């Protein structure tokens, strides 16, 4: 694979890491952690703020988790593609080299 396997492995590792993040945050329910009603503080000014935060957080986690899963799938597909098509890896992937005189 002409020296690109390390880069391809890093692409695959990034995909696996993204999927782990999706697996962790996907089941979270931040809005559900905020109590309904007066939260045991009848008449407190914070009640309206809690309701606002709860409404704002509702439904936010799933799209984020989905985004991480989509990214993970893209990285996995890219790694598989580059392992299959060495010419694409050679064209698309560059090994970083410091300019002459720098070390």
Give the residue extent of every domain in the chain.
5-92
Residue 42 neighbours by CB under 8 Å, 6+ apart: none
DSSP state of 31: G
Beta-carbon-side half-sphere exposure of residue 91 (alpha carbons within 13 Å): 6
Question: What phi, psi does 85 have (nearest 5°)?
Answer: -120, 90
Residue 5 contacts by C-beta under 8 Å, 6 or more apart in sequence?
none
Spatial CA neighbour of 89 closest among 10, 34, 30: 10
Q: Which two tokens stand for residue 22?
A: 């999706």
pLDDT (tens place) for every residue of the chain, 103 residues total: 567 788 899 999 999 999 999 999 999 999 998 888 777 778 788 888 888 999 999 999 999 999 999 999 999 999 999 999 988 888 888 765 667 776 6
pLDDT for the residue 50: 86
- Of 30, 29, 49, residue with least CA distance to 39: 49
């Amino acid at each position: 694979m002409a020296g690109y396997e390390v880069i391809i492995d890093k692409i695959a590792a990034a995909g696996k890491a993204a999927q782990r993040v999706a697996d962790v945050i996907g089941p979270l329910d931040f809005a559900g952690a905020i109590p309904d009603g007066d939260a045991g503080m009848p008449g407190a000014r914070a009640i309206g703020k809690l309701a606002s935060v709860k409404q704002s957080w509702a439904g936010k986690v799933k799209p984020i988790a989905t985004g991480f899963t989509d990214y993970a799938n893209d990285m996995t597909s890219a790694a598989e593609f580059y392992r299959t098509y060495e010419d694409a890896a050679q064209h698309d992937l560059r090994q970083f080299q410091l300019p002459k005189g720098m070390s």
